[in-house]
Amino acid sequence: MSKLVVVWLEALVRGQVDPSWWVSGVWEGRPIREFLERRDIAATFRFLHARGISYGVIAGLVGVSANRAAEIAKGVRQVTAYDVLERIAVGLRIPRTVMGLGQDRETSARASRLADRRTGTVASSPRRRESPGDEARAPISALTRLRIELDDALASSSVAPLQLDLIEESASEHMRVYPSAPPTVMLSRLVGECTEIRILSRRRQPAAVQARLSGIAALLATMCADALMRLGDVVEARMWYRTAIHAADDSSETRLRVLVRAQSAMLPYYFGDPQQTVSLTEAALAVSAAPSSSSALAAAGRARALARLGAADEARAAIAEACKLFDHVGDDDSDTAFRFPRKRLLFYLSGASTWLGDTSQAIQVQDEALRLYGASPSVPIDPALIALDRSMCLVRDHRSAEAAVSALDAVAALPEAQRAEIVLTRVTDVISAIPARHRGSEVAALTDYVRACRERGRTLASGTPVLDP
């Protein structure tokens, strides 16, 4: 299990609620029980937060997002749905009767059966005399009741339309923030959202509702996987990508099925065998029913991996295919996660041309890509990786000292929390490409800097809980 996940679980354990609080606790000079009896969830959340439990931990315990927990505490959102109140009672270990929720159905049923056994009764009303037609009518009546109950079950949903809209809006907000946020920060934000989707998906939902939930789950799982990949947690990232693919397939949304496969192909490109990237991108393209920006992403990823494998002719043909697809269906400029604007196409083509050894072409592509990302990019990791492609070009042009300096500058320009393993691994590729006889003081300085960044990253990971508010 990754250190990041261990920290998360430890944070949850530390955040477990002491049930005695609900008996003896006081909030704003009054017993907390009074707030519970009124189902004042805002006061309840603030009471817990004052005891050092973050809104992220509260969210994980009750199955809502951290943002939603904070909004409830501030009174921006009200909690009235019975099933949400039940989740809060169970997650925070509040006695159900205190909140006026009564016993759960299973407990009530057991009590009823026990009472029947003790009294020896089966029914409380006397049995009437059956008429000759009752025996014939009974099966029809039972069948009718069964049909009505089955219709009710098929139409029932524990997710209100407005609730589903809000969940989708929250997922969209995560995708907007994701490219600019450090991976550890995003993981802390995504935990509560994934918890809520997990709880809702465990209940039987109508097909249309479940498809929407699965689509949201696929996007959230892909962001989790990508964040873990950036941190270099390959095993956990691979498992989350697998979950994302499962959820996307369950959504039956073709574009989403293509997208998550294309995104998962990045993991072996950076941390494994590029041949797996080729296989995954080809699987993504095979799923495509019609050209889309996601299929253009898959094609560009395939071209870059083929170039890294040294399959020059295939890579150049794949570059042409990716450009053709992008010209047909490419996204407009956007920094939202999982969009594929021109600057991201150029990012992929930069890698392809670099691995092919076409340094003049690569530098031209890099210049255009960096121009589109801008001087102060909101997506800092992509330009850093493009700059490291430039460093690799300098190595190929036998300018090792310049390559080392430019690589160090690319990493140093990143905010500390963004100096993730995905960047440091690419720097290591640059160092490895420099012949030993050309490794002067600049390369030594770069090597030391990478080592210091990794050490600092380990310190931050061990000392900063993931689920901070």
- pLDDT tens by residue, 202-249: 777 788 888 999 999 999 999 999 999 999 999 999 999 999 999 999
Asked if the model's pLDDT at residue 343 lies above 80, the reply is: yes
pLDDT score for 99: 87
Across the chain, mean pLDDT equals: 84
Q: Is residue 235 part of a domain?
A: yes
Could you tell me the pLDDT band of residue 14, with boundaries at 50, 70 and 90?
very low
pLDDT score for 124: 42
Q: Is residue 202 part of a domain?
A: yes
pLDDT score for 154: 61
Q: Between 78 and 337, where is the model more confident?
A: 337
Q: Which of 82, 99, 116 is the last residue of a domain?
A: 99
Q: Between 84 and 223, where is the model more confident?
A: 223
Single-letter code of the amino acid located at 73: A
For residues 92 and 177, membership in a common domain is answered with no
For residues 88 and 9, membership in a common domain is answered with yes
Could you tell me the pLDDT band of residue 90, with boundaries at 50, 70 and 90?
confident
Q: Is residue 78 part of a domain?
A: yes
- Summarize pLDDT for 407-420 with one digit per residue, the tens: 999 999 999 999 99
- Summarize pLDDT for 373-409 with one digit per residue, the tens: 998 888 999 999 999 999 999 999 999 999 999 999 9
For residues 95 and 7, membership in a common domain is answered with yes
Pair of tokens at residue 223:
């962001």
pLDDT score for 463: 47
pLDDT score for 415: 92
- In this structure, the number of other CB atoms found within 10 A of the CB of residue 332 comes to 8
Q: Which of 196, 224, 252 is the last residue of a domain?
A: 252
For residues 175 and 87, membership in a common domain is answered with no
Q: Is residue 94 part of a domain?
A: yes
Q: Is residue 197 part of a domain?
A: yes
Q: Between 78 and 241, where is the model more confident?
A: 241
pLDDT score for 1: 44
User: What is the phi/psi pair of residue 107, to 5°?
Assistant: -65, -45
Count how many domains the chain has.
2
Q: Between 458 and 112, where is the model more confident?
A: 458
Q: Residue 76: which domain range?
A: 3-99
Poorest-confidence range of 51-55, 307-311, 361-365, 418-422? 51-55
The residues pairing with 391 across neighbouring beta strands, listed in sequence order, are none
Query: What sign does the dihedral 119-125-129-131 (CA atoms) show?
Result: negative
Asked if the model's pLDDT at residue 163 lies above 90, the reply is: no
Q: Is residue 358 part of a domain?
A: no
pTM: 0.69
Output the CA–CA distances (angstroms, integers) from residue 4 to 8, 232, 433, in the order listed.
6, 11, 31
Q: Is residue 359 part of a domain?
A: no
Q: Is residue 408 part of a domain?
A: no
Asked if the model's pLDDT at residue 189 lies above 90, the reply is: no
Could you tell me the pLDDT band of residue 164, with boundaries at 50, 70 and 90?
confident
User: What is the phi/psi pair of residue 91, to 5°?
Assistant: -65, -35
Q: Which of 204, 219, 252 is the last residue of a domain?
A: 252
